[in-house]
Amino acid sequence: MKKLQVYVVSDSVGETGEQVVKAVATQFRPNFDHTIIRKFPHITNKDHIQNIVEIAKAQDAIIVFTLVEESMRKNMIEVCNQKGVKSFDLLGPMIAMFESETNQKPLEEPGLVHKLDEDYFRKIEAVEFAVKYDDGRDPRGLLLADVVLIGVSRTSKTPLSQYLAHKRLKVANVPLVPEIDPPEELYLVDPKKCFGLVISPEKLNIIRRERLKALGLSDDANYARHARIEDELKHFYKVVEKIGCEIVDVTNKAVEETANVIIHKIEQGR
């Protein structure tokens, strides 16, 4: 069986070219017998291309390349033709087709797809973090979070946590109840990362009464009474003062508005 050597040359990490080569190679050699696939990532100048082609020539290898810059692709083809090395351009023909279809010039910036992938996985990680450390479930998350939200019940802590998570921020939130001491970890959090969410007693009364109705309960329960709300807010202010964190009034604010306020404060702090 003839030995097959393939050099995958890329201006990024080379994963795209490697996966395509493997997909094709398995159609001929499912177990990759007598097959060598070697990656040359982050190739960004023509001297590198010259050296790789010379090595490929000496080892009777073929070259498959994913280069986004047109000048680099042309140089690769030219050098391979000069040296008699077989090569295949994976991206060039498709870039040309897209350029014709869109009437736009390509950015020619290596690694953009991996930046998108990294951004996507950061968002997923942040969303999972927000779920795991929602509603004070695990105080350990407070010290790992980018943002910590505290507030009495029905101040939009959970939806706000999820919204900020989609902005790639790891958020933990803690409900404040007078009968329960906040976790010790809360007082170890950097005050710049912590935000107390407050709402007017009147608005909170309306929200809580509607919540009770939705649950099929009487709307005059202690949970929605003004006296109870005032007690909870007094406790809230005591905790906030001890932490020394920023207070954000969420009365009549959409989650997006509150999130923008917090993001702005964080960026200012940086």
Q: How far is CA 220 from CA 38, 199, 228, in A?
A: 72, 19, 11
Residue 158 annotated in ligand binding: yes
* 154 annotated to a ligand binding site: yes
Q: Is 157 assigned a ligand-binding role in the annotation?
A: yes
Count of C-beta atoms within a 10 Å radius of residue 101: 8
What residues contact residue 265 under an 8 Å CB cut-off, 6+ apart? 195, 246
* Pairing, β 62-66 against β 87-89: parallel
Find out whether 153 is annotated in a ligand binding site.
yes
102 labelled binding-site residue: no
CB atoms within 10 A of CB 230: 12
Token pair listed for 13:
């990490």
CB 37 within 8 A of CB 21: yes
> Does the annotation flag 100 for ligand binding?
no
Residue 155 annotated as lining a ligand binding site: yes
Determine whether the annotation assigns residue 35 to a binding site.
Answer: no
Dump the DSSP string for 210-228. HHHHHTT--TTSGGG-HHH
- Binding-site residues for ADP: 151-158
Annotated binding site: 151-158
